[in-house]
Structure 1
Amino acid sequence: MNASSIFQFGNSFILLGWILLIFAPNWKLTQTIILNGILILFSVIYSYLILKDIGDFKMDSFSTLANVKQLFQNDNAVAAGWFHYLTFDLFVGTYIVRKAKELNISRWWATLALPFTFMFGPMGYLIFVIIKTIKTLNSNANNQ
């Protein structure tokens, strides 16, 4: 399987996790399927892509912007980088759903952060932190 095919697979398959988080966040198997299924599979694929070209890796590959640009001239490195994003963004989305349940944040408010987490990673997490902060402040104000 080449890097392009792996990339296409990742883009399609990751949607399963996001669909579960958005439409079935309270289903008893959602967290298990994502954490012990999808994320493990993506971690294996990521490891394969990295280890496949490990001989070309240089210790200073991440030391400058120019070196990172050079590193990502390789299709396998780009696909690995993409799997890195997909995996960690879904992990953060899973954390958001779990934390929202724990803090009794409305499913709808938590779901607001998920598309941003899927598309823009850290921005979605920031939105959730803002929602969580507002919820905490409101809860504290109501308890006084």
Structure 2
Amino acid sequence: MDYELIYKIINIGVLPAWLLLALAPHARVTTALVHSGIYPLAYGMLYTVLLVWAMVFGAGAEGGNMSTAAGVSVIFSHPHGVLLGWTHYLVFDLFIGVWIVRDGARQGMAHWKLVPILFLSLMFGPVGLMLYFLLRKISSSAGLSSSEG
């Protein structure tokens, strides 16, 4: 298995979804590809295949487990474990990005305010989510809407 190739494909594959969220959040193509759940379904299937491959067919590092930090380190010491973890991050970070766009629209936030937060969600998941909640709190406290700010 060419782990580097799979890593590159899953990274490149998720970028169109993030670009659509940032540049055309309500376009028909974004709704069809990103808001529909196709990405989490596709990446979830890849994750499931990788997980079954590791658990049933023994792909991965010997001695890895989820009950200790050392055991998790062992899992991530093998390229298969890295692919599993990275796919997990990509699915959930994108899910959060989609939620931010939808929630921001419901809150009446100007989309341009969300674009840097989307970037941070892509790169540093929890940081983007935290900043979105701060922006949401500040915006609701100040009574800002998309027409005001």
TM-score, normalised with respect to structure 1: 0.88
Q: Which letter does structure 1 place at the counterpart of 2:52?
A: L
Q: Which letter does structure 2 place at the counterpart of 1:10?
A: I
- Per mean C-alpha deviation after superposition, the further-off stretch among 26-35 and 120-129 is 26-35
C-alpha offsets along residues 74-119 of structure 1, whole Å, 9 cap, x if unaligned? 2111101100001110110000000000010111111121110000
CA distance in 1, matches of 2:39, 2:139: 31
CA distance in 2, matches of 1:86, 1:31: 19
Q: Which letter does structure 1 place at the counterpart of 2:49?
A: Y
State the match for 1:77 in structure 2. Answer: 81
Shift of 1:139: 1.6
Structure 2 residue runs without a partner (length 5+): 145-149
Shift of 1:134: 0.6
Shift of 1:73: 2.1
8 Å contact kept, 1:31–1:94: no
State the match for 1:25 in structure 2. Answer: 25
Q: Which letter does structure 1 place at the counterpart of 2:120?
A: F
C-alpha offsets along residues 43-94 of structure 1, whole Å, 9 cap, x if unaligned? 1111111111113489x81121111111112211110110000111011000
- Per mean C-alpha deviation after superposition, the further-off stretch among 104-113 and 92-101 is 104-113
CA distance in 1, matches of 2:76, 2:18: 27
State the match for 2:39 in structure 1. Answer: 38
Greater RCO, CA 8 A, separation 6+: 1
State the match for 1:87 in structure 2. Answer: 91
Q: Do structure 1's residue 62 and structure 2's residue 66 form an aligned pair?
A: yes
Secondary structure, aligned partner of 1:53: helix
Shift of 1:2: 3.0
8 Å contact kept, 1:93–1:117: yes
TM-score, normalised with respect to structure 2: 0.85
CA distance in 1, matches of 2:70, 2:32: 40
CA distance in 1, matches of 2:71, 2:104: 39
Structure 1 runs (4+) greater than 6 angstroms displaced: none
Q: Percent identity?
A: 28
CA distance in 1, matches of 2:65, 2:17: 31
CA distance in 1, matches of 2:31, 2:69: 36
CA distance in 2, matches of 1:31, 1:87: 17
Q: Do structure 1's residue 16 and structure 2's residue 16 form an aligned pair?
A: yes
Q: Which letter does structure 2 place at the counterpart of 1:37?
A: I
